[in-house]
């Protein structure tokens, strides 16, 4: 049986970076490479029900129950005890477009000593993973870490989750005497660019309840996430020779600055934490005649989320009132919503995960997600789906790392959760 670490090290070397500018689905063809690999591995393990959506790059699998008692009823002390068969687990295959995922060269740091870790250098810049910058590293003294070489991201988001689900599946197939209900598995593309659920087949997946395995450090258990929207603002100016511009020129780039000045300064990502939402200016391009601003809007509270969208609209209206109708236009699109609204009647999932963690000596850390997961959208598609940890940190960048002992323990957690419906 291949260890979860061995699986992880193989998976991160497959480039699956998604592309937020692509107009195809999935956004990159290279995601099919890992999907095909997982399909073959599942079949070789002996999973009888494996389906590869070769159009949209989804992998679905089911390990049939081997016990007559197949109802997943949750913890005995839960106030909500629904009748359903089995439990599902989901992770995404793509990696963030923010940093390259090509040529990932993972490094293993054994028995971490609490000091700076030299990752490598590129273009005369040295990359050092330091507890002075990332103090949670001190929690891993004596543990084994997997890091990058400073040239790429690692891909623990979410290939650690993929590896843990695959290791869990292999455990049950290698130990057919272990009783379990139906176990449903899915691997998705394009989560990092917000498209992971765009073509997800809920009926094919089969589970009525599931967990995404897509969190961070060990113990993370999440059932609240941001409400999310994108906003694109276009500003139209009027170009005139600067020597003759008085009372004629309208500089769209200056209008962009004026627009952004109307957004609450203390509600930027760098000033917020916990349940506080934000406006994040992700891109700004401009000339005298035309400028574009792109924002993402986030808030856990639905009313405050709606107010953020109103602020964008009012800022555009104020530009139009001063410079003429049509100077500013905007498109606001909702992306996903807080899954808490859909999990209030399925809190047994949280209780089960919390209890299973405690039984394994893991300290549960129940915090709101300052982001989103496939599970947030899936919850609104009828499958309540909280999020659990994978063991990684510093996602989407060169300083990403993952703890080997955490991945091993999380694999045990998935096994325990899969058996709880027995």
Q: Are strands 125-129 and 117-122 parallel, antiparallel or unpaired?
A: antiparallel
Residue 351 CB partners (closer than 8 Å, separation 6+): 74, 75, 77, 78
Residue 298 CB partners (closer than 8 Å, separation 6+): 226, 227, 228, 277, 278, 280, 305, 370
Three-state secondary structure call for residue 285: strand
In angstroms, the CA 83 to CA 89 distance is 18
Among 94, 182, 299, 400, which one carries the catalytic annotation? 94
What's the number of CA atoms in the CB half-sphere (13 Å) around residue 335? 26
Q: Distance from CA of residue 116 to its chain's centroid?
A: 27
Binding site membership for Zn(2+): which residues?
A: 92, 157, 192, 214, 396
Among 182, 190, 191, 412, which one carries the catalytic annotation? 191
> Counting every residue, how long is the chain?
422
In angstroms, the CA 284 to CA 278 distance is 17
94 is catalytic: yes
Three-state secondary structure call for residue 226: coil
DSSP label at residue 389:
-
Token pair of 296, please? 């993402």
Dihedral through CA 157, CA 137, CA 372, CA 201, nearest 10? 30
DSSP label at residue 238:
B
- Which of the residues are catalytic? 94, 191
């Amino acid at each position: 049986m291949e260890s979860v670490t061995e699986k992880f090290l193989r998976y991160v070397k497959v480039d699956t970076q998604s592309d937020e500018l692509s107009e195809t689905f999935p956004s990159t063809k290279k995601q099919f490479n890992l999907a095909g690999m997982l399909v073959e591995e599942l079949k070789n393990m002996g999973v009888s029900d494996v389906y590869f959506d070769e159009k949209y790059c989804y992998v679905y699998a089911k390990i049939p129950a081997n016990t007559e008692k197949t109802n997943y009823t949750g913890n005995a002390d839960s106030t909500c005890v629904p009748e359903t068969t089995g439990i599902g687990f989901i992770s995404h295959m793509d990696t963030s477009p923010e940093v390259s995922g090509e040529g990932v060269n993972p490094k293993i740091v054994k028995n971490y000593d609490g000091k700076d870790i030299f990752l490598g250098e590129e273009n005369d810049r040295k990359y050092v993973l330091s507890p002075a910058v990332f103090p949670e590293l001190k929690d891993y003294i004596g543990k084994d870490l997997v890091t990058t070489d400073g040239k790429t991201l690692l891909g623990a988001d979410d290939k650690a989750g993929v590896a843990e689900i695959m290791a869990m599946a292999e455990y049950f197939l290698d130990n057919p005497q272990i009783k379990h209900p139906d176990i449903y598995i899915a691997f998705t593309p394009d989560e990092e660019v917000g498209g992971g659920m765009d073509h997800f087949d809920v009926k094919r997946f089969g589970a009525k309840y599931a967990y995404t395995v897509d969190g961070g450090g060990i113990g993370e258990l999440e059932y609240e996430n941001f409400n999310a929207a994108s906003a694109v603002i276009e500003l139209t100016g009027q170009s005139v020779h600067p020597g003759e511009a008085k009372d004629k020129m309208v500089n769209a780039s200056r209008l962009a600055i004026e627009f952004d000045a109307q957004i609450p300064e203390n509600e930027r990502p760098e000033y917020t934490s916990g349940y506080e939402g934000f406006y994040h200016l992700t891109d700004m391009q401009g000339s005298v005649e035309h400028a574009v601003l792109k924002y993402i809007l986030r808030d856990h509270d639905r009313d405050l989320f709606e107010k953020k969208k109103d602020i964008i609209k009012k800022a555009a209206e104020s530009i139009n009132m001063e410079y003429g109708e049509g100077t500013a236009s905007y498109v606001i699109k909702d992306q996903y919503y807080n899954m808490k609204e859909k999990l209030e009647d399925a809190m047994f999932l949280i209780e089960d995960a919390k209890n299973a963690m405690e039984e394994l000596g893991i300290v549960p850390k129940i915090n709101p997600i300052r982001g989103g997961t496939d599970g947030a959208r899936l919850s609104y598609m009828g499958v309540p789906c909280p999020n659990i940890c994978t063991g990684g940190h510093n996602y989407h960048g060169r300083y990403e790392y993952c703890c080997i002992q955490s991945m091993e323990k999380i694999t045990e957690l998935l096994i325990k959760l899969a058996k709880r419906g027995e």
